[in-house]
Homo-oligomer: A and B are copies of this chain.
Amino acid sequence: MINELVRKIKETNAPIVVGLDPMLSFIPEHITKKAFAEYGANLEGVSKAIIEYNKGIVDAVYDLIPAVKPQIAMYEQFGIPGLVAYQETVNYCKSKGLVVIGDIKRGDIGSTSAAYAVGHLGKVTIEGKEFRGFEEDFATVNPYLGSDGVKPFIDVCKEEKKGIFVLVKTSNPSSGEFQDQLINGKPLYEMVGEKVAAWGEELMGDSYSYVGAVVGATYPEMGKVLRKVMPKAYILVPGYGAQGGKGADLVHFFNEDGLGAIVNSSRGIIAAYKQEQYSKFGGENYAEASRQAVLDMKADIAGALENR
Contacts and interface: CB of A to CB of B under 8 A. Distances in A.
Interface of A: 21, 24, 36, 41-43, 45-46, 71, 73-74, 76-80, 82-84, 87, 105-110, 112-113, 115-116, 118-120, 124, 126-127, 129, 131-134, 142-149, 167, 170-179, 181-184, 188, 191-192, 195, 238
Contacts of A43: 124, 126, 131, 133
Contacts of A115: 71, 73-74, 76-77
A178 B119 contact: no
A127 B42 CA distance: 8
B87 A79 contact: yes
Contacts of A175: 109, 145-146
Contacts of A182: 183-184
Task: List the 10 closest A-B pairs by CB distance, nearest first.
Answer: A79-B133, A146-B177, A146-B174, A77-B119, A109-B172, A41-B127, A73-B115, A77-B115, A148-B174, A144-B144
A146 B77 contact: no
Contacts of A87: 79-80
Given A76-B116, A127-B41, A179 B144 contact: yes
A262 B24 CA distance: 38
Contacts of A171: 109
Nearest to A109: B172
Contacts of A145: 167, 170, 172, 174-175
B113 A73 contact: yes
A251 to B, nearest CB: 23
Contacts of A144: 142-144, 167, 170, 178-179
Contacts of A116: 73, 76-77
A46 to B, nearest CB: 6
B79 A112 contact: no
Contacts of A142: 105, 107, 142, 144
Contact of A124 (B24, B118, B132): B24
A167 to B, nearest CB: 6
Contact of A119 (B21, B79, B113, B238): B79
Contact of A106 (B41, B73, B84): B73
Contacts of A173: 148
